[in-house]
């Protein structure tokens, strides 16, 4: 099992897309083990996006991410990082394939609806930025055997 950090950005929240986007992850069989609506502080946004510091879009990105509430989620599943990134689609909505979150709901290259961790290390760091350990609730899903083949003991 792998856990990733997903953020529904201010544009997704303001457009009322939270439920429709969450459904995509749940429909895929992924498990939400933590979620919170919050207003990201400038300090937290600068820590989260530190890898982009110095890039031309950095200040505008911080302003956008702190402009309105977001929904932060910890999502778990086999290969969750890759699965979530495929569900999200290409970074720019104008280039994202239909059937993906960005492809179906986005056209902007600046407001791209959603953030997802790109690697296990970044997922661990990002989840640590937004959640205390006591805010994550892994649990056994009763339907796990219908989502994954567990006949060998481990989900695949």
**Is residue 101 a contact partner of residue 88, using CB atoms and an 8 Å limit?**
yes
Cα 56 to Cα 137: distance, rounded to the nearest angstrom: 38
Active site residue 115: yes
**Is residue 123 a contact partner of residue 132, using CB atoms and an 8 Å limit?**
no
Q: Using alpha carbons only, how large is the chain's radius of gyration in Å?
A: 16
Q: Which of 48, 85, 102, 115 is catalytic?
A: 115
* Residues near 41 by beta carbon (within 8 Å), at least 6 away in sequence: 66
* Residues near 20 by beta carbon (within 8 Å), at least 6 away in sequence: 105
Tokens of 32: 């939400």
- Residues assigned a catalytic role: 115
């Amino acid at each position: 099992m792998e856990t990733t950090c997903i953020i529904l950005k201010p544009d997704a929240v303001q457009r009322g897309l939270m439920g429709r986007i969450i459904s995509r992850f749940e429909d895929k069989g992924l498990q939400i083990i933590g979620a919170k609506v919050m207003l990201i502080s400038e300090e937290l946004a600068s820590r989260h996006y530190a890898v982009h510091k110095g890039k031309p879009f950095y200040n505008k990105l911080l302003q956008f991410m702190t402009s309105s509430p977001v929904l932060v989620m910890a999502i778990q599943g086999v290969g969750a990082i890759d699965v979530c990134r495929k569900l999200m689609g290409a970074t720019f909505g104008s280039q994202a394939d239909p059937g993906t979150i960005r492809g179906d709901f986005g056209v902007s290259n600046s407001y791209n609806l959603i953030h997802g961790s790109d690697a296990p290390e970044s997922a661990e760091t990002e989840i640590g930025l937004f959640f205390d350990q006591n805010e994550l609730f892994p649990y056994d899903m009763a339907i796990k055997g219908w989502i994954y083949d567990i006949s060998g003991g481990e989900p695949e």
